[in-house]
Amino acid sequence: MIHLLALLGVVLISFSAIFVRLASVSPVTTTFFRAAYAVPVLAAIYLIVRRSDRRSHREHALALASGLILAVDLSLWHEAIALVGAGLSTVIANCQVVFVGLVAWALWGERPTRTTAILVVFVLIGVALTSGLARPDAYGANPTLGAVFGVLAGLSYATYLLVFRASNRSLAPAAGPLFDSTLGAAVGAMALSALDAHFSFAPAWPAAGWLLALALGSQVFGWLLIAFALPRLPAVETSMLLLGQPALTVIWGVLLFAERLSPLQWAGAAIVLGGVGTANFVRVVRS
């Protein structure tokens, strides 16, 4: 049963980039409504489990701060989706796994291992290939710029994960930190709206419906299922399941949007996923 819940959560979040493409609104607009639609639902769920939340005021503040970082991450990723497609943008953004060590070094002075440094170089080579190297057969409106935004999203997401983990050392019910973080993301998107010339508080239909599906399917139920199931599974299975998200999104992109990648881009995607999978495995072995 736990495996099915985890798999369902991964499938739900694998549609995130698909809903973003279908909504077809500006990056920050997507970020804002992904969070804003999710906040009331998460608040209602949190009220049920609030008595079990033993987090300190500092941990609450860290969760809110992580949401501000998440707003930057999502906005960068949404821009990457528009430039290089749903599948490749998701693959590239998942490079966050190998960047966590570098971000921890920058934030807390935790020197990365030689293995981490090698994996970063390996993944960046894969990202360069996903850009299509300016070849005419590369998929995307601007695959090179899309790859850049994807890497920046990966770095931002690595930062978000580290801060978010620090916000829940008390192991509160998942709905608590997720609510705080999502609220922070809504506030962060509001601040970023000044930088988005096409930001809108009133997306037209059916865009509003796709944004609602993004908020409920991914931000609420997808991540709640994952947060519940993954700590109850062996670490190796957890790592493999999470790799399912970018792999599935590539499949959905091909089936739903005819995202026909060039041979170089397919090779790059395989290298990035291989690097991410290796980083996950190394982390599991060391733990």
Nearest to 182 by CA among 26, 17, 36: 36
Question: What is the token pair recorded at 86?
Answer: 């749903």
Report which DSSP code applies to 50: G
Q: How far apart are CA 83 and CA 19, in angstroms?
A: 15
Nearest to 74 by CA among 129, 126, 20: 20
What residues have CB less than 8 Å from 191, skipping those under 6 apart? Answer: 68, 71
Evaluate whether 210 touches 23 at the Cβ level (below 8 Å): yes
* Residue with more model confidence, 233 or 73: 73
Cα distances from 2 to residues 126, 214, 250, in angstroms, run 33, 23, 25
**Boundaries of domain holding 10:** 2-286
Domain count within the chain: 1
The pLDDT mean for the chain works out to 88
Per-residue pLDDT, 235: 58
Per-residue pLDDT, 249: 95
- Average of pLDDT values for 95-100? 80
Quickly state the pLDDT bin for 239 (edges 50, 70, 90): low
Q: How far apart are CA 191 and CA 202, in angstroms?
A: 17
Per-residue pLDDT, 284: 54
Q: How far apart are CA 175 and CA 7, in angstroms?
A: 19
* Residue with more model confidence, 182 or 135: 182
Nearest to 140 by CA among 231, 148, 121: 148
- Average of pLDDT values for 112-121? 80
Per-residue pLDDT, 28: 98
- For CA atoms 261, 253, 68, 187, give the dihedral sign: positive
Report which DSSP code applies to 111: P
- Average of pLDDT values for 79-85? 96
- Tell me: pLDDT of 282 over 70: no
Nearest to 21 by CA among 68, 71, 106, 78: 78
Per-residue pLDDT, 283: 61
Q: How far apart are CA 18 and CA 222, in angstroms?
A: 14
* Pick from 33-47, 118-132, 144-158, 213-227: least confident: 118-132
- Average of pLDDT values for 129-141? 87
- Average of pLDDT values for 19-29? 97
Cα distances from 26 to residues 75, 97, 144, 194, 233, in angstroms, run 9, 27, 19, 12, 37
Quickly state the pLDDT bin for 228 (edges 50, 70, 90): confident
User: 3-state class of 151 per DSSP?
Assistant: helix
Per-residue pLDDT, 262: 92
- Tell me: pLDDT of 236 over 70: no
Helices vs. strands in the chain: H and E counts, helices first:
13, 0
Quickly state the pLDDT bin for 276 (edges 50, 70, 90): confident
Count other Cβ atoms within 10 Å, centred on residue 147.
28
Nearest to 71 by CA among 205, 199, 166: 199
The model's pTM is: 0.91
Nearest to 107 by CA among 171, 183, 161, 46: 161
Query: What residue type is 112 in one-letter code?
Result: P
Per-residue pLDDT, 97: 77
Give Cα 109 to chain centroid, integer Å: 24
Per-residue pLDDT, 38: 97
Give residue-wise pLDDT tens across range 137-182: 889 999 999 999 999 999 999 899 888 888 877 777 888 889 999 9
